[in-house]
Amino acid sequence: MARIILALALAAPAAALVAPLNTVSRSVKVAETKNDLAALCDENPTALGFEGIWDPLGCADYDFWGLGNEATIGYLRHAEIKHGRVAMAGFLGFVAQSTPLVSGEHAIQPYPGYVAGCTPQVQWDNVPLIGKLQILVAVGMLESYGEGAGREKDAAGYTHYTQGGKPGYYPPIVGKGPPGQILFNLWDPFQLIPDSDPATKKNRLFAEINNGRLAMLGLFSLLAESRVPGSNPQLAIFDLHIPAYDGNVMASVFPELGNDFAGPAFAVLGVCGFLQQLKNGAVRKI
């Protein structure tokens, strides 16, 4: 249980490493109160029919990093939306990587060192250390752009989600990074989706939150079934067979002895977090 709790904590978005510690005073009104959460729950009820806020850990009353309770609620709402988006991508990716279309056999090997017929977890295990670090750095860059956009002079009108900004909003990143190598935004990269009225956007956000919650449960159910076959009997009802995996699904986030990825990964995260805090002025210069 301790390992699971630690792994879930470490799986939180890198925003936890780069949150602006001293940029919001406790007296700042950011329009994210517990009453606002209760109103959102009334507008977007869950299928299980909980009344009010489902908050068994009391997180809606916390004060992270001295930002204040309202900023903390803004952070938690943003984190839930982001986790849901990642889980939706992860769920679809797991299903796709379990099919012969991805796992192979292929007539032409897609890359050097390719091994056919591997489960999604084994596919990750087979990625060399340098490849995993590249993925980690790319994700860290995206997190950094998202957290720091409010301090860029070209981000007119952007407000951080802990300071009253819209939870779930990711600012445009076209042209970011030296020498402006990012060519597309994360949302609507090809500008094909027409703009919607505020009411439609609100309903679509509710749908995204609900889908994200379901995807988080779904992804964990696939991981559990692959590790302990039969742990999700509902899959048998639909004749769904998840490939078994006898490794450690948390090996990339839990620093076990013999894990050649966790140590360098945590070092990279620590350095990136420190540099971001230094940029935001949260670390005192000595």
Asked if the model's pLDDT at residue 194 lies above 70, the reply is: yes
Task: Give the pLDDT of residue 60.
Answer: 87
What is the number of other CB atoms lying within 10 angstroms of the CB of residue 170?
A: 17
> Given a cut of 70, is residue 151 above it in pLDDT?
no
Structure letter (DSSP) for residue 101? H
Report, as an integer, the average pLDDT of 39-51: 73
Q: Please tell me the distance from the alpha carbon of residue 111 to that of residue 94, in angstroms, as a whole number.
A: 19
If one compares 204 and 249, the residue with the highest pLDDT of the two is 204
Query: What's CA 127's distance to the chain center, in Å?
Result: 21
Q: Label residue 141 by pLDDT band (50, 70, 90).
A: confident
Average model confidence (pLDDT) across the chain: 75
Using DSSP, state whether 56 is helix, strand or coil: coil
Find the length of the chain. 286
Closest CA to 203 of 43, 37, 89, 51: 43
Q: Look up the pTM and report it.
A: 0.73
**Burial of residue 62 (number of CB atoms within 10 Å: 0-12, 13-18, 19+):** middle
Residues 148-171: what's their mean pLDDT? 73
**Per-residue confidence at 271, pLDDT binned at 50, 70, 90?**
confident
| CB distance 71 to 162 below 8 Å | yes
Neighbours of 79 (CB within 10 A): 18
Rounded-to-integer distance, Cα 273 and Cα 206, Å: 31
pLDDT average, residue stretch 17-36: 49
Distance, CA of 50 to chain centre: 25
Q: Render pLDDT for 80-130 as a digit per residue (tens, 0 to 9).
A: 999 999 999 999 999 888 888 888 888 887 877 788 888 888 888 888 878
Reported as a pLDDT band with limits 50, 70 and 90, residue 156 is: low
Report angle CA 10, 60, 208 to the nearest 5 degrees: 70
pLDDT at 152: 54
pLDDT at 118: 87
Residue 65 DSSP label: G
